[in-house]
Amino acid sequence: MDRPDWDEYFMEMAELAAKRATCLRRKVGAVLVKNKKVLATGYNGAPMNIEHCESTGCLREKMEVPSGERHEICRGVHAEQNLVAQAAIHGVKTENSIVYCTHQPCIICTKILINAGVKKIYFKNSYSDKFAENLLKKSNIEFIKYNN
> Helices marked H in the chain — which ranges?
6-18, 53-56, 59-62, 79-89, 107-115, 130-139
List C-alpha distances in Å: 123 to 31, 61, 97, 103, 127: 11, 25, 14, 5, 10
Tell me the H-state helices in 3-58.
6-18, 53-56
Task: Find the catalytic residue in 51, 54, 80, 142.
Answer: 80
Residues annotated within a binding site = 78, 106, 109
Instruction: Give the residue numbers of the binding site for Zn(2+).
Output: 78, 106, 109
Q: What number of residues does the chain have?
A: 148
Is 142 marked active-site?
no
Count other C-beta atoms under 10 Å from residue 59's C-beta.
13
Positions annotated as catalytic residues are 80
